[in-house]
Structure 1
Amino acid sequence: MINRNDSDLSIRESSNVVNENDLVVNENDLNDTQKYKHLWVQCEKCYGLNYKKFLKSKMNICEYCGYHLKMTSLDRIELLIDPGTWNPMDEDMVSLDPIEWDSSELDSSELDSGELDSDELDSGELDSNEEESYKDRIDSYQRKTGLTEAVQIGTGELNGRPVAIGVMDFHFLGGSMGSVVGEKITRLIEYANNHSLPLILVCASGGARMQEGSLSLMQMAKIASALYDYQVTKNLFYISVLTTPTTGGVTASFGMLGDVIITEPQAYIAFAGKRVIEQTLKKTVPEGSQESENLKSKGTCDFIVSRQFLKLTLDMIFDMHFFRNRK
């Protein structure tokens, strides 16, 4: 006769053995995932793992949920500009240290008081562990990205039509807007003004660069002034493309000044980040309220365009604009 208690005990013991074995397997899987993490990019929305080798060919769109992951400025230019027509401008302009930034004078709470949420700080200009000098950080990002600054500007052809285009890169100090970024964008606008070229600015930024203090904030007025001359005085055409994330001073200035404003699906667009708003107002920001779909319903942008159709959409808008002006 089998004792029920003994039977239950043996079942529990065998169950424990199985669970322990499963735990070992899971730990091994985790180790393998860490070992090969350089091969994958994790989606920020669904946390699915996208194989890097194929991600570029898919325009950095998650194969599981369709979320538009961040792109480098080089990939953006390749996506929008006809092959062999890209002519970069002012590539030799680099940031100095105009206010002799010293992060040791700030406490961690001041370093964290920026416009981006905590999950975006890893790639942005705000880092609570910031110890190296501003110049060292610039040098580090230049080596890491191969860029001299957080924006690339130049001219090229979009389906055979000459355009002036500026593309911000979030991988360089969070696409933050310092003196050089503001100067490069202003020079691009002035060049487009002088040569009567249509203008495209692709935005991806955490806002003004705090390491340059008020000098970074002055870039908002400088760029807006150049756009006024371009759009109102010369009656030329500017399209703003907002991608994830576009926040702070970029949203508060040229990001929202386009004759046509285009956003990507589920793009995070805001002036102040969710965390900052909640800490300041002591109110919860509704989920999705700072995404492009909600903003379009409020009239903040004109179109939400998936990345694979962006070049075609830009071409169609230019066709309609220039056709109207010819009539």
Structure 2
Amino acid sequence: MKLFSYAQATKPADAVQLLGAQTQSKFIAGGTNLVDLMKYDVESPDRLVDISQLALTQIDATDKGLRIGALARNSDVAANALVMKQFPLLSEALLAGASPQLRNMATMGGNLLQRTRCHYFYDVSQPCNKRAAGSGCGAIGGYNRIHAILGSSPSCIATNPSDMNVALAALDAVVQVTGPNGSRSIPILDFHRLPGNTPQRDTVLEANELITAVDLPTTAIGGKSHYLKVRDRASYAFALVSVAARLAVENGVVRDVRIALGGVAHKPWRLPDVEKNMVGKPATETTFRSAAKALLAGAQPHEHNAFKIQLAENAIVRALQTVS
């Protein structure tokens, strides 16, 4: 790990200014991902701007739903009474991730920015366009069991590793950010990027922007929700496939639905058109399986991860049956 300077911010505006004052600077809060990346020389910042003391830990009810500060700890969010009552899907997803020790340090903003767990990204001796643009993708033609089957490109087949992000996608979350050009709101479906020709960019954040909060809107139709995570072992493992499902059924008919997938793409995978097509149809396995196939249409597996297609289809059906 190379030497770096350190600065601590006390206000969001100060944090943005400190970050922009020196090139190759990074925000640090819980540090559960960034510190590992620095140890492996994947990230080599010249300066760390500590934002852990910013007043961004609140979890408050609003007239539209719930606002969660970017520095709220994952464990606190998962155990919060408002979250468990209004958005249990988020609590469920957070508890499915990492370990209690990590959840006690990891923050909402940091989890949003969590980087891929691709082996080739972490191994600096291997080519990786996400780590070093133009160097190639070792996973394509390499060992790619955990990699993407949807939305990938010839430049990158990495997946987004976060459980929380999948739940937020199904909850229509909105990310609040501030930066040199002011504040803006970014719908979660627009926040993360597909790799395209620039896989080094995970999100649409601009230079020196800081995440300040996540807004969760109350849905007009209630229904039930469930987070299903399929992994190699029961704890402390990233998803091979995950499903965040919300479903409202009336008289056996689908009235409202959200389905987001994890472990299959560079970002949480959700297709609103598929959801719209389900509305008004019977809440049966036939409807669920048809939707699952539509969500997975165009999947492009690689040598070691073709199993994910059938696994994802079955997981979608199972998650929807659980809440129907």
Superposed pair shares fold, TM > 0.5? no
Which structure has the greater CA radius of gyration? 1
Return the structure number with greater relative CO, CA threshold 8 A, min gap 6: 2
If each structure's strand is expressed as a fraction of its own residues, which one has the higher value?
A: 2
What's the TM-score once normalised by structure 1's chain length? Answer: 0.30
